[in-house]
Structure formats: C-alpha cells, structure tokens
Amino acid sequence: MNFAGKVVLITGASSGIGAATAVKFAKYGACLALNGRNAENLKKVADECSKVGQSPPALMVGDIAKEADTQRIWTETLDKYGRLDVLVNNAGILETGTIENTSLEQYDRVMNTNLRAIYHLTMLATPELVKTKGNIVNVSSVNGIRSFPGVLAYNISKMGVDQLTRCVALELASKGVRVNCVNPGVTVTNLHSRGGMDPETYEKFLEHSKSTHALGRPGDVSEVAAAIAFLASDEASFSTGVSL
Ligand code: NDP
C-alpha cells in the first residue's frame, strides 16, 4: 500500500489502535495530522512515526468532544496541508454502566466523543474529501453489531457509528468518497481500564474474550491498524459502507 503524498487525519492517535494506525500510515508514506488530548503521548507517537515515515506528523492536540476544539483541529489540518485524503475517526471512550447506573452526564460524554464528534468532523471534512475523492474509516466495535451487557452507552454509540458509516457511504458514493468502518473484537489497549475496569476484572474480561472470538484470543492493535489502512487504500477501491 502506498500513501505517498496523501494527507491522513487520525483522531485518538496518542495511544492504542490510533497510535498503531499512525505508525502504519507513516510506514506507507502518508503525511499525518495526529489528534489526541494528551500532548506528551501524542509527541511520543509522532516520534515513532518520524522514524519510519517521510515527514514528521503535525500534532493536533484537542478534545474532539468539544465543538471548538474539533473546528480548530480541522482548520489547522487544512492550513498545514491544504487537502485531506483520509479521515480516520478513531478516538473513543468506554464507560461501564447499565440503564440503572449510567448517568446522563456519562451518557453524554460517551455519545459526544464516540458519535457526535465523528458526525462533526465528517461534516467538516466532506467538502475536501469530495475534492480529493478521499475516504473515511470509522473505528466502531463489535459492540456496534452485538449488544454486550454493562457498557450501555458505549453499545449505543457504536451502533450509531455503524449506521452513520452506512448512511454517509450511500450519500457520498456518487461523489467518489468511500466510507467504511472496522468493528474490532476485544483488542489489548487501555480502553477498558480507562473506562473504570479494575486490573483484576480486566484480566477476567480478557480471559473471557477468548471464548467470544472465533480465533480464541484478543486482537493486537497492529491487526486493527492493518484493516484500517487496507480500507483507506486503493486496494479497497470497490468497498464502501462495509465493516471489517
Ligand atoms: P485507547 O484508550 O488506548 O485510545 C483511545 C484514544 O482516543 C486515545 O488516543 C485518546 O487520546 C483518544 N481520545 C479519547 N477521548 C478523546 C477526546 N475527547 N478527544 C480526543 N481524543 C480522545 O483505546 P483504543 O485504542 O482501544 O480505542 C480506540 C478506538 O477503538 C475507540 O474508538 C474504541 O472504542 C475502539 N475499539 C477498541 C476496542 C478494544 O477492545 N480496545 C475494540 C473495538 C473498538 P487521549 O488520551 O490523548 O485523550
């Protein structure tokens, strides 16, 4: 795969799947704009990308759950590169909770980060992607397809991401813009511990996850990054509205 000369904006690139995706695109020669809230972590990922890539990534520190930050991230990306070829909507959070103990505040936080921000960034990026015949890869989850107990807001947000993917794929196909998503099963990152899972519960959860995936193991971030890069590449030129 070759992304030389292509501009790729990745949200949530400061850790986990987003960080691995950034390094993957860097290896394939992309010009990168990397977003995350934690500037220090983002810088470390950018340094990794610089070692394997053509040019140092531009850092877009900001909270995509805040409209003003998302607007600024978008404006700065366009100011820096003047175009966009690929948008990877990866940033996400998980909060544990059921209908009995998920507050509206938690619900809003998850929905604003996992779904509303994708909607906003997609709105902003669409005119540029139409110009470049670019594409979008959304990072959904197996929770977008199946419901899992104990992560209610997360389930709802990811089902929304899947629907958004399919709808916008239909809307933009005639303009040459592809929109796809990945729906990874449990992948080893900090997502669950950050979402309130203590280490012991996380170990049990990882163990249990082996029985919920046909391959009998959790995923590695590099495997998800590979799927994202494939969908964004010309190799997937006949794929839109699909999930991997
Ligand atoms: P991590 O917690 O490692 O990464 C999440 C990333 O999102 C971080 O870079 C974080 O950056 C960023 N982020 C979170 N909130 C915001 C925000 N408001 N503004 C900007 N950046 C934000 O978890 P993963 O790598 O696992 O998660 C990445 C995506 O993969 C998520 O959408 C998640 O739902 C999805 N996913 C994960 C699975 C898993 O099992 N791990 C399975 C299926 C899907 P920072 O800390 O700098 O704010």
Distance 116 CA to ligand 1 centre (A): 15
SS3 state at 138: strand
Question: What residues contact 149, with CB distance under 8 A and at least 6 apart?
Answer: 98
From the CA of 192, give the closest atom in ligand 1.
41
Is 63 a pocket residue for ligand 1 (Cβ < 6 Å)?
yes
CATH code, 160: 3.40.50.720
Q: How far is CA 5 from CA 21, 31, 32, 65, 83, in A?
A: 17, 7, 10, 29, 10
> Which ipTM score applies to this complex?
0.99
Distance from C-alpha of 165 to C-alpha of 1, rounded to nearest angstrom:
23
Number of structural domains found in the chain: 1
From the CA of 187, give the closest atom in ligand 1.
40
Residue 69 domain flag: yes
Domain extent, residue 206, equals 7-236
Write out 210-229 in H/E/C secondary structure.
Answer: HHHCCCCCCECHHHHHHHHH
Residue 242 domain flag: no
Residue 207 domain flag: yes
Distance 32 CA to ligand 1 centre (A): 18
Tell me the catalytic residues: 154
Task: List per-residue pLDDT tens for the chain, 244 residues long.
Answer: 999 999 999 999 999 999 999 999 999 999 999 999 999 999 999 999 999 999 999 999 999 999 999 999 999 999 999 999 999 999 999 999 999 999 999 999 999 999 999 999 999 999 999 999 999 999 999 999 999 999 999 999 999 999 999 999 999 999 999 999 999 999 999 999 998 888 998 898 889 888 888 999 999 999 999 999 999 999 999 999 999 9
Tokens of 56: 């140092």
Is 139 a pocket residue for ligand 1 (Cβ < 6 Å)?
yes
Q: Which protein residue's CA is at the shortest distance from atom 33 of ligand 1? A: 92
Residue 244 domain flag: no
From the CA of 14, give the closest atom in ligand 1.
9
Residue 92 domain flag: yes
Is 64 a pocket residue for ligand 1 (Cβ < 6 Å)?
yes
Is 220 a pocket residue for ligand 1 (Cβ < 6 Å)?
no
pLDDT, tens digit, for every residue of 156-189?
A: 999 999 999 999 999 999 999 999 999 999 999 9
Residue 165 domain flag: yes
Residue 102 domain flag: yes
Residue 186 domain flag: yes
Distance 90 CA to ligand 1 centre (A): 7
